[in-house]
Amino acid sequence: MTLLEFDLNINRMTQVLSVQNLGKYYGETKAVDGINLSVEKGEIFGFLGPNGAGKTTTIRCIMDFIRPSFGKIAAFNLDSHLDSVQIKAKTGYLSGDVRIYENWTGQEHFRFIESMRGKSKILSKLIKDFDFDPKVKAKKLSSGGKQKLGIIMAFLSEPEMLILDEPTTALDPLLQNTVYDYILNFAREGSTVFMSSHNLHEVQKICSRVGIIKQGKIIAEESVEELRSKKIHVVKATFDSKVSMADFDLSGVEVFKESAGSLTLRIKGDINPVISKMHNYKLKDLEVSHASLEDIFMAYYER
């Protein structure tokens, strides 16, 4: 076996979800326009994007609820369409708009899933942790209650893969943390998680990698650590003398704020050219920080 074949085999072993050149057009609307993604076993992949970017459409294609206009999706090395039943048997899915039977109680929903997936070992813990009353009919539940029901249904079989469309919508911060704890635990045990989100903080908190989608195209795909720590710095400097702005007209450097004697810069990439220019002046104060994910997100979106 050559080294390349070995690498390919390792990839096949660890890659759980693969999306290749996926497109979904609705007439003139290019909801998803040729995206590529892959998610490894045990990874928590955050799929970030604004309203209408194409997140739900991608998730519906992955779940084989709608057929793509072009492209290929595989999960567990199985075809998302041809082998959809096998894939669904290993997948916990949470829809963006939780689909439930209004006349059923939570308990009836859980029994239905257990009839297909086998008895859950964690159902009573889930019910307790999410403070959920399983005897109430779904139609009587608040939107948060419905969300809890959807989450418990997605989690109860401890699936090998979780596909979650904005899982923390309508939940209070305490319950959001409960969702994060479960997701992190599942991933630690080897489950693979693909979740869409609007929420940068939750992505920063739990995801290992993030794909940013805008108008149907992936505009960035990186590890959260890489996005956060390497790429963008914010430098705040206060000077003792007047500064020539021409000194900081450097590639990748954007002037955020400028006021008498002080300057705030957003730097994409290497910070050394900026620091060298600062040697031309007497500094009163200097603060270098990593940009928040919010700054990074904006930097990508403005591009």
Q: Does 44 bind ligand ATP (CB under 6 A)?
A: no
Q: Is 267 left (phi over 0), alpha (psi -120 to 50) or beta?
A: beta
Q: Which among 45-53, 86-94, 151-159, 217-225 is the span making contact with ligand ATP, rule CB under 6 A?
A: 45-53
Tokens read off for 82: 């041809």
Torsion, CA 249, CA 254, CA 257, CA 261, rounded to 10: -30
Size of the site for ligand ATP (CB under 6 A): 12
**Closest Cα partner for 115 from 124, 107, 104?**
107
* Residue whose CB is less far from ligand ATP, 29 or 244: 29
* Residue whose CB is less far from ligand ATP, 52 or 190: 52
Q: Which residues pair with 285 in a beta bridge?
A: 238
Q: Does 67 bind ligand ATP (CB under 6 A)?
A: no
Q: Which among 46-54, 139-147, 247-255, 259-267 is the span making contact with ligand ATP, rule CB under 6 A?
A: 46-54
Q: Does 18 bind ligand ATP (CB under 6 A)?
A: no
Q: Does 96 bind ligand ATP (CB under 6 A)?
A: yes
d(CA 89, CA 158): 11
Tokens read off for 94: 């949470």
Phi, psi angles (nearest 5°) of residue 7? -60, -45
Tell me which of 36, 52, 133, 255 binds ligand ATP, using CB under 6 A.
52
Q: Does 55 bind ligand ATP (CB under 6 A)?
A: yes
Strand residues in 112-154 grouped as ranges (E): none
Q: Does 228 bind ligand ATP (CB under 6 A)?
A: no
Q: State the number of CA atoms in the 13 A half-sphere of 286 facing the CB.
A: 10
d(CA 86, CA 206): 28
How many Cβ atoms sit within 10 Å of the Cβ of residue 116? Answer: 9
Minimal distance in Å, beta carbon 29 to ligand ATP? 5
Tell me which of 15, 38, 57, 95 binds ligand ATP, using CB under 6 A.
57
Q: Does 29 bind ligand ATP (CB under 6 A)?
A: yes
Q: Which among 48-56, 148-156, 179-187, 278-286 is the span making contact with ligand ATP, rule CB under 6 A?
A: 48-56
Which residues sit at the interface with ligand ATP, rule CB under 6 A? Answer: 26, 29, 31, 49, 51-57, 96
